[in-house]
Amino acid sequence: MRILAVITGDYGARHVENIRTRGPQEWNIESWDAPTLLPLIIDYPEDYLPETLPAADLILALAEHKGVAELLPEIAQLAGAPAVIAPVDNEAWLPRGLARQLRGWLERQNVACVTPKPFCSLTETHYGVTRREKIAYQDPLIAEFAKYFGRPAFDIKIDPETRVITAAAAQRDAACGCAAYTAERLVGLIADEAEQEGGMLHHHYPCQASMGIDIDFGDTLMHVSGNIMRDEIADQVKPYKKVNYIAPGTRSEIDEHEERDE
C-alpha cells in the first residue's frame, strides 16, 4: 500500500516514524510538508499545492492546521488517492463541522474518508466521533491500515498461579506508538496493577491528543485516548485480577458485653 502523510510538524512526523517502524515492510510511506501560512478562506487551493504529489492509495491527514484540512480534496485528487484518514486529535486542527464537510466533499469525489476522534478509536469497521456515537465504514484500504494502527489491541500472557504478566505485545498499535510502548512495560506487573499502570504509561509516552476539554466528550481527548487504552488492558487482565469479597459483619461477643455494661 502506498501511503502519503500530510504533515506540518512534530505530531505528524512522530506518527510517520512509528508507522514506518512498525508497519508492514511492503508499505511505501511518503510524507509531504504542507504550508502553514494559509488565509482564513482559501479561494484557490492550487496556489498552496505543489504541481505533483507522490501517487498514493491512502492519504493520512496529520497536519496541525485547519487550512490544510480544507486542501484535502485537492490533495487526494492530485495524488490519485481513493481513501483518506483524517483523525481528530485536536479540534483546532479539524473542527467537527469541517470534519463532516470533509467527508461529504470526498464522498462526492468517490473518495472514502474517516475522521476518527480520537485517532485511537479507529478499528477495521468503525470509528468514534462522540462519547456515544460511532460511525461504521466499509473501505478495504482504510481497514487494511486499521489492522495495524488505530484502537489499541493487546496480547497479554499471564502466569495463572502468580498472576504476573509474562509477555505483552500490541496486536494493533496506536498510530503514535503509545500501545507498543505501553505493552513493553507491562511485563513483570501483577494483573491487579496493569490497568492503572497502563494509564500512567499512556500519559508518560506522552499522548499527543488535545488537553483542552472537548464538547463532544466532556473531557480532554488525551483522557479519552487514555481510557481506551485502559479499557483494552482491563479486558485482557480481568480473568486474573484478585477479587476481594466482603462478607456482612456479625456483632462480636465483646461488642454485646460493652453494650450491656452501658
> What's the pLDDT tens digit per position in 118-165?
999 999 999 999 999 999 999 999 999 999 999 999 999 999 999 999
The SS3 assignment for 174 reads coil
DSSP letters spanning 112-150: EEE--SSGGG--SSEEESSSS-EEE---HHHHHHHTTBS
Query: What CA–CA distance (Å, rounded) separates 179 from 120?
Result: 10
Q: For 5, how many CA atoms within 13 A lie in the half-sphere containing its CB?
A: 24
Query: What CA–CA distance (Å, rounded) separates 228 from 243?
Result: 23
Question: What's the confidence (pLDDT) of residue 194?
Answer: 95
The SS3 assignment for 161 reads coil
Does the bond joining 54 to the residue before it have cis omega, within 30 degrees of 0? no
Question: What's the confidence (pLDDT) of residue 39?
Answer: 74
Query: What CA–CA distance (Å, rounded) separates 141 from 113?
Result: 11
Give the DSSP letter of residue 98. Answer: H
Cβ–Cβ < 8 Å for 114, 86:
yes
Distances (CA, A) of 95 to 26, 99, 173, 206, 208: 33, 6, 25, 23, 17
DSSP H or E stretch at residue 50: none
Of residues 195, 192, 166, 163, the one with CA closest to residue 182: 195
Cβ–Cβ < 8 Å for 222, 210:
yes
Q: Residue 218, Cα to own-chain centre: how many angstroms? A: 18
Query: What CA–CA distance (Å, rounded) separates 146 from 112?
Result: 14
> Number of helices (H) and strands (E), helices first, in the chain?
9, 11
Question: What's the confidence (pLDDT) of residue 243?
Answer: 64
Question: What's the confidence (pLDDT) of residue 204?
Answer: 87
Cβ–Cβ < 8 Å for 215, 204:
no
Best CATH choice for the domain 2-146 from the list 1.10.260, 3.40.50, 3.50.4, 3.40.1350: 3.40.50
Vertex 17, ends 59 and 86: CA angle to 5°? Answer: 30
- Burial label for 41, CB within 10 Å (0-12, 13-18, 19+), is exposed
Of residues 224, 258, 41, the one with CA closest to residue 116: 224
Residue ranges for the chain with pLDDT beneath 50:
252-262
- Domain residue spans of the chain: 2-146, 153-240
Query: What CA–CA distance (Å, rounded) separates 193 from 240?
Result: 11
Query: What CA–CA distance (Å, rounded) separates 147 from 42?
Result: 35
